[in-house]
Amino acid sequence: MNQPQQPSIAVIGLGLLGASLGMALRGGACRRIGWTRRANIRRWALDCDVLDATDDDVETVLQEADLTLIALPIPEIISFLRRHAGAWRPGTVVSDLGSVKSGVMAAARESLTGRGVHFVGGHPMAGTEKSGPESAFPELYANADVFVCPFPDSPEFAVERVEAFWRSIGTRTTRIPADRHDDLVAHTSHVLHILASALAVSILDAPDERTKQERFSGCATGFRDTSRIASSNPLMWREIIEANRSAVLRAMGDFELCYEKMKKMIETGDFNAFEREFAHGKLLRDSWIEYKNR
């Protein structure tokens, strides 16, 4: 594997996020190395130009990496950092793609800091309801926002290396502390998956077969668009919600206040207030669409 003339970017984990990352790096200035547990997926990654090189031994990959991106489920990121902490060369930079940062950052602080390896947390706001390498595509990260979560004492060069990497594949980066990140994504992402699942159950889990068929017939594009992420991987979302429990409960409480407010307007027949509240939601969403289309 030794070809030191190009900086080596290691991608650990080749599911939807990791494989899409390798695809997005095609034709770039870096050498794409990587690893995943299944040998057949490692072979697929080479055959399909997802990676330039791999190895059966993950620590061989880590030793060659100048920058490592760990694209594993949150519990596996934590255990990976602890298990392989001694494999990275001092001075190298490690980041991750996990959607909850506090636990990952704590494991990185414990495992890497004393070894001279610089960890900078990362979270691209990108994904679909699908999972696995067969769902990967190179445009997944195009125009996405990426949160970069350094430690207060992280060297500036390490943070800038992570930011430059993400910008090189067409994303926007924002620095944010880990605790603030976890509260933010609980509101903007995690609670949405809970709501989508609850919506799917409340509508489709009908009391009898006739009602179920009627509801299946009555659900059209509005239901499809609103409930899409209810098709996400249940185990993955159990792990995410479990890792961010306190922030998710706060986000659920905020949603309950808005929901109960609109419910009360309907109960009391105050449809002028309901229209104003609905218009406020429309304005906010339209403003978000404009931001994303810049």
Cα of first residue to Cα of last residue in the chain, in angstroms, is 41
Helix (H, G, I), strand (E, B) or coil at 16: helix
Sheet of 53-54, strand order: 53-54, 31-35, 8-12, 67-70, 93-96, 118-119
Average of per-residue pLDDT across 70-74: 97
| Confidence at residue 285, expressed as pLDDT on a 0 to 100 scale | 97
pLDDT surpasses 60 at 292: yes
Q: Which helix (H) or strand (E) holds 53?
A: strand 53-54
pLDDT surpasses 60 at 4: no
CA nearest to 6, candidates 34, 32, 42, 25: 32
CA nearest to 67, candidates 149, 163, 153: 163
* Residue 1: band (very low, low, confident or very high) from pLDDT cuts 50, 70, 90: low
DSSP 159-208: HHHHHHHHHHTT-EEEE--HHHHHHHHIIIIIHHHHHHHHHHHHHHS-SS
> Is residue 271 exposed (0-12), middle (13-18) or buried (19+ Cβ within 10 Å)?
exposed
pLDDT surpasses 90 at 243: yes
| Confidence at residue 102, expressed as pLDDT on a 0 to 100 scale | 96
| Confidence at residue 17, expressed as pLDDT on a 0 to 100 scale | 97
* Residue 3: band (very low, low, confident or very high) from pLDDT cuts 50, 70, 90: low
Rounded-to-integer distance, Cα 37 and Cα 18, Å: 13
Average of per-residue pLDDT across 237-263: 98
pLDDT surpasses 90 at 215: yes
The answer to whether the beta carbons of residues 236 and 178 sit under 8 Å apart is no
Q: Which domains does the chain have, with CATH numbers?
A: 8-176 (3.40.50.720), 181-292 (1.10.3660.10)
Beta bridge partners of 173: 146
Rounded-to-integer distance, Cα 42 and Cα 40, Å: 5
Rounded-to-integer distance, Cα 190 and Cα 196, Å: 10
- What's the gap between Cα 242 and its chain centre? 15
